[in-house]
């Protein structure tokens, strides 16, 4: 524990990601994480609600980014275009932490209960995005549908981006997915 990372929250996050990656999520106990971070188990639960939440600390910031991107988008954009721009912003943020995002994703991929939490966070992101669209005057049905569509292309774009060997362009994957969707839903 040390000068280079003085706050307990950061040390816990780092310790958890390391241990989950090294020994597996199920094989790691909260006591293990707390010990590596130099605190007690009880303190862990003062920072994070449960054993999984330590991997999802950043989801709040992502959600705020999406909401403010929607709020500040030009009103000339359609709901889908608005949500597309917002999701591209979110993608750019993740892209800045590519290695962290990849390692985190690989841990989550190994455990269904972590996947559940990820899905819940995405659902909350969608709900917040829908709310932000409504605040712009988008009617209820369109807001929910556009927001869920945004989450969907974000998810699919993310999977493509993470799977790449070389560091590709995450926002571009989102644009691609939206274009594919337009083709799929186009009336023939």
Partner DNA sequence: GCTCTTGATGTCAGTTACTGTCATCAGCGT
Partner DNA sequence: ACGCTGATGACAGTAACTGACATCAAGAGC
Residue ranges of the alpha helices (H) in the chain?
Answer: 8-23, 30-37, 41-47, 59-71, 79-95, 98-109, 112-134, 140-163, 170-185
Terminal CA-to-CA distance of the chain, rounded, Å? Answer: 62
Separation between Cα atoms, residue 5 and residue 150, nearest integer Å? 36
Q: Is 115 in the site for a second copy (CB under 8 A)?
A: yes
Tell the smallest beta-carbon distance from residue 42 to DNA (Å).
3
Tell the smallest beta-carbon distance from residue 36 to a second copy (Å).
27
Q: Is 55 in the site for a second copy (CB under 8 A)?
A: no
Residue closer to a second copy by CB (options 19, 146) is 146
Residues 6+ apart with CB under 8 A from 62: 90, 93, 94, 125
- 182's contact among DNA, a second copy, none, with CB below 5 to 8 A by partner kind, is a second copy
Binding stretches for a second copy (CB under 8 A): 78-80, 112, 115-117, 119-120, 123, 141-142, 144-146, 148-149, 152, 155-156, 177-178, 180-182, 184-188
Binding stretches for DNA (CB under 7 A): 8, 28-31, 38-43, 45-47, 49-52
């Amino acid at each position: 524990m040390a000068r280079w990372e003085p706050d307990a929250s950061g040390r816990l996050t780092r310790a958890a990601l390391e241990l989950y990656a090294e020994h597996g999520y199920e094989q790691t106990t909260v006591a293990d994480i707390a010990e590596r971070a130099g605190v007690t188990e009880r303190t862990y639960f003062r920072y994070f609600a449960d054993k999984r939440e330590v991997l999802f600390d950043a989801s709040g910031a992502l959600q705020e980014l999406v909401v403010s991107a929607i709020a500040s988008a030009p009103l000339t954009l359609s709901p889908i275009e608005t949500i597309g721009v917002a999701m591209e912003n979110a993608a750019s943020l993740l892209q800045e932490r590519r290695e962290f995002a990849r390692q985190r994703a690989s841990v989550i991929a190994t455990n269904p209960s972590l996947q559940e939490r990820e899905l819940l966070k995405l659902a909350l992101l969608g709900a917040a995005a829908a709310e932000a669209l409504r605040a712009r005057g988008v009617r209820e049905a369109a807001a929910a549908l556009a927001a869920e569509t945004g989450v969907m292309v974000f998810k699919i774009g993310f999977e493509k981006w993470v799977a790449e060997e070389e560091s590709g362009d995450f926002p571009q994957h989102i644009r691609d997915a939206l274009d594919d969707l337009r083709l799929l839903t186009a009336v023939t």
